[in-house]
Amino acid sequence: MMTDKTSIQLLAIGYHPEIMQVVHRLINSHDGWQGTIAASMDEAAQLLQRNAYDGILLCAGVTEADEAQVRNIAAGTRVIRHYGGGSGLLENEIRMAFDI
Amino acid sequence: MSKYILHKEDSRHHEYNDWLDSKKTFSFGDYYNPKRIHFGALRVFNDDIVKAQKGFGKHPHDNMEIISIPLEGSLIHQDNLGNEEVIRAGEIQVMSTGSGVFHSEYNHETDTATRFLQIWIYPSALNVTPHYGRLTLKDEWFDHRFGTFVAPVASEKAAMIHQDAYLSMGRFSADETFQYTIQQNGNGAYLYVIDGTVEIDGHVLSAGDALGISETAAFDGRVKSGNATLLVVDVPMNIQL
């Protein structure tokens, strides 16, 4: 579904600290996009209980079991699997998910 | 009936800066075209020309199978797995980036450009242990036939990647006919013309053109003029993203 949001809040979950630094930088370098990083599923669960996000990015190290848990905790929130590790695919994946 | 997707050379996204001249088949970076995202598990197909001694500095990747094929010149590869290799035309490298890799790729030539194909394929499994491989190609593997040099299982003639995908190349003479058999049920073939002009089921393809072919077990074609060098990326078409 097309979105007219000019601001997108993203929770990026990933277990590779150096890659997640790059992911964080890339998200926040885009006008209107703001990223929060969770380095573990526990941290992600806490953040999801406290905050609303437009989308959740699953990054390095996140397993299919973790993904199922995320979808259970945050039912209704867009879940995006990021491939490539802070690569040229990240912006594409977010734009595709939000149809922008 | 076979299904075709034609990507002509001039339909690629062309961008360049002071060191890189890149033609991107599929959306990448700032280039976003919802109609050009992937062909099955094939996600990136960039034809890059890098100026002498320039290149891609240290940067990360994960969960992607990355194949580099120098067509002219050479690349120097370094990564945090401890690999430092020079890859020349006639050689290839593969990286299963899995749980995470940092690497750099620079043109190793001191005064000439290097042209290489950069191919990314979605992996069949997440977070595998990262792996680097290289392979020297032999001309006889590809003379008047398709020879497979990337496959799900490593061999003397093939580097391994974590996907049911295959890269093959063939070199054919003027007026020669060729046939390619899809290597796995459910796969499709993305045929890229490196050199020459060929015809496949009425589609005339010249250097830089590509044809995605799916829903078939095999296809054949004919070289229309000159000698032809063809690359086939044979990938699963039904992938869950």
DSSP 8-state assignment for residue B39: B
How many CB pairs below 8 Å do chains A and B form together? Answer: 72
A contacts of B100 (beta carbons < 8 Å): 16, 18-19, 60-61, 85
**Chain B contact for A34 (CB, 8 A cutoff):** no
Evaluate whether B41 touches B119 at the Cβ level (below 8 Å): no
Residues B176-212: pLDDT tens digits? 999 999 999 999 999 999 999 999 999 999 999 999 9
Q: Tokens 């998200």 identify what position?
A: A27
For the cut 50, the answer to whether the pLDDT of residue A1 exceeds it is no
Averaged pLDDT of chain B:
97
Q: Collect all residues with Cβ–Cβ distance below 8 Å to B201 and sequence separation of at least 6.
A: B2, B4, B219, B221
Q: With an 8 Å Cβ cutoff, are B61 and A18 in contact?
A: no
Query: From the list B30, B63, B99, which residue is nearest A83 (CB)?
Result: B63
Name the residue range of residue B144's domain.
3-236
CA distances from B107 to B35, B50, B53 (A): 32, 6, 5
Instruction: Give the span between the Cα atoms of A15 and A61, in whole angstroms.
Output: 5
Residue B209 belongs to a domain with what CATH number? 2.60.120.10
What is the CATH code for A8-98?
3.40.50.2300
Residue at B241 is within a domain? no
Q: What is the CA radius of gyration of chain A?
A: 12
- The SS3 assignment for B13 reads strand
| pLDDT score of B162 | 97
Measure in Å the smallest separation between the Cα of A45 and chain B Cα atoms.
21
Q: Is residue B201, in this structure, part of any structural domain at all?
A: yes
Q: What is the pLDDT of residue A86?
A: 83
Q: What is the pLDDT of residue A87?
A: 84
Backbone angles phi, psi at A61, to 5 degrees: 90, -15
Chain length of chain A: 100
Instruction: List chain B residues with CB under 8 Å of A68.
Output: none
- B43: closest chain A residue by CA: A89
Structure tokens at B188: 């499709």
| Ranges of residues in chain B whose predicted pLDDT is under 50 | none
Residue A2 above 50 pLDDT? no
The single residue listed with the structure tokens 């996204």 is: B13
Of A59, A85, A91, the CB nearest to B29: A91
Residue B241: the pLDDT is 72
A18 touches chain B (CB under 8 A): yes
Inform me whether the C-beta atom of residue B64 falls under 8 Å from chain A C-beta atoms.
yes
The angle at the Cα of B150, spanning B148 to B151, to the nearest 5 degrees, equals 90
CB B3 within 8 A of CB B40: no
Residue B47 has what pLDDT? 97
Number of domains in chain B: 1
- pLDDT, residue A36, reads 97
Write the pLDDT tens digit of every residue in A33-91: 999 999 999 999 999 999 999 999 999 999 999 999 999 999 999 999 999 998 889 99
* Cα of B21 vs its chain's centroid, Å: 17
User: pTM for the complete prediction?
Assistant: 0.95
B91/B135 Cα distance (integer angstroms): 6
Q: Best residue in B22, B62, B240 to probe A by mutation, most A CBs within 10 Å? A: B62
